[in-house]
Structure 1
Amino acid sequence: MPLTPASSISAAPGNPRDALIDRVQRAVNDVSYPAHPGTLIDAATQEHADPEVLEALRRLPDEAFGNFSEVSALIVAGLDARALPRREVPG
């Protein structure tokens, strides 16, 4: 079921993470849930989504998502995990 404007996530100016989630949501807005990543990627491709949106969708695990909130939560978790500084392991 497509999300309505009232349920959309608004991007905060200057916040790249929120801006990405907003672009992903617009790219997959017409998808019916539950949906797998392949369905989301196909929809985003048809909407001519930018490469960053497509990459975020490609990083999702191969499972059915019940709604866009589940999709966005995993995208944000992935972004946060990649943003963590790597610690050197003593060798």
Structure 2
Amino acid sequence: MKKLALCIMLLVVLGLTGCGNVYLKGDALTAAETSAMDAYGALQRVDPCPICVDPAAATTQSAVEPWVKAYLTENFKQWRFFVRSARKDLTWGPKLEGE
């Protein structure tokens, strides 16, 4: 019985300590913000916004594999989440199309 109670208590402690808490300050926060914006820039290079595309240069087929766009989108979202959590500001950073 003691072992079961100890296991449950250990699981509770391990489960509650990291629930979305991100602590970044100073240079670490600046580095995370820079990484988030670099990830956004990489995403914009492979999938520019519709307004930014030159209609004369537009092609009918994307030059990038779909998984590359999905990977870069997820990478940006994760970096943005880290920065938003650390700053306690859910409006930080650019929004993606459809958000």
Q: Normalised by the size of structure 2, how large is the TM-score? A: 0.26
Greater RCO, 1 or 2 (C-alpha within 8 Å, sep 6+)? 2
- Max Rg structure: 2
